């Protein structure tokens, strides 16, 4: 298993809408993520900063790099574009986070 972490941002006042849209995540998008190898995906909000922190655990053998080219992912990005900073292709602006500390039970 591997872990990916990254940060995104929300436009001010969009936390409730972001949660609502994710509570109603499209089944075909959820399935695409699972099919690509995701086993656990969590997104946390730093509300005062409007910052989202994502933690994604995926299988070693995965096809996550192909997801941006899928119609469902492109449609999701366009759907989310109005509530968060996005690139011209509608993908969310994100920054990979570097791991600095890890504690695990032996």
Q: Which residues are catalytic?
A: 22
Backbone angles phi, psi at 31, to 5 degrees: -65, -40
User: Nearest 5 degrees, angle CA 103-CA 105-CA 106?
Assistant: 115
**DSSP SS3 for 73:** helix
Strand segments, DSSP code E, in the chain are: 2-9, 38-46, 51-58, 95-96
Q: Which residue has the tokens 């089944």?
A: 27
């Amino acid at each position: 298993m591997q872990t990916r972490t990254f940060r995104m941002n929300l436009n001010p006042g969009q936390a409730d809408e972001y949660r609502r849209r994710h509570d109603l995540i499209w089944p075909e998008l959820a399935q695409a993520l699972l099919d690509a190898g995701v086993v656990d995906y969590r997104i946390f909000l730093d509300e005062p900063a409007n910052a989202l922190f994502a933690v994604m655990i995926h299988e070693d053998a995965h096809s996550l790099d192909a997801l941006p080219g899928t119609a469902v992912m492109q449609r999701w990005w366009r759907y989310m574009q109005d509530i968060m900073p996005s690139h011209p292709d509608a993908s969310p602006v994100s920054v990979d986070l570097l791991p600095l500390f890890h504690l695990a039970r032996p």
